[in-house]
Amino acid sequence: LQNLGIKHLSAGELLRAEREREGSQYGQVIESHIRNGTIVPVEITCKLLENNFKNPFRGYRFGLRYKIYHENHATDLISKQRMKAMDNSPSAKIFLIDGFPRNQDNVDGWERMMLSKAKVLFVLYIHCPDDICVKRCLSRNEGRSDDNEESLRKRIKTYHTQTIPIIEYYKAQNLVRQISAVTSAEEVFF
């Protein structure tokens, strides 16, 4: 992605990094939501995204870790950042925001806090059946606290009740590009 001039920002990785950051004012809130498989408040996620628009390498792990194979239910925004608004540079940057927005509150917060700073070019909907999603997440061996069947089932339930309506919202605006993720990561990516 970097070779294409695109910066990958994983909402989940930003949240996990913030949760682990010493002295974080959001750490406990983020941990509680991750443990319960619920969605972190939009103000926190937008703040972390905005910080990374300004300085995309600010101590967080992202970039080449684009794991399309397990981001099956991601609602990814590709946002064209208006650099004049952010750092007075005349050039634009493109960010792939992975895993956001996930519910109506996220959309409302994005539009309230970020619409003047970033334009949504399209939403990439990578779809994979639930059973394959669970199998892939359990086998990825990253040691994440939310990679257990109970948390995954909660996340999938949240996806069905809260994220599917967001995908429909963007479909109505003709912004959704859908890809099937039933094949291998390499086949999906290329």
* Domains of the chain listed by start with CATH number: 2-189 (3.40.50.300)
Asked if residue 43 has pLDDT above 60, the reply is yes
How would residue 62 be classed by pLDDT, with cut points 50, 70 and 90?
A: very low
Tell me the average pLDDT across 14-21: 94
Q: How many CB atoms lie within 10 A of CB 129?
A: 12
Assigned token pair, 57:
């390498």
Grade residue 23 by pLDDT with cuts at 50, 70 and 90: very high
Range 75-86 average pLDDT: 36
Question: If you average pLDDT over every residue of the chain, what do you get?
Answer: 77
Task: Determine the pLDDT at residue 25.
Answer: 95
Give CA–CA dist 46/40, Å, rounded.
10
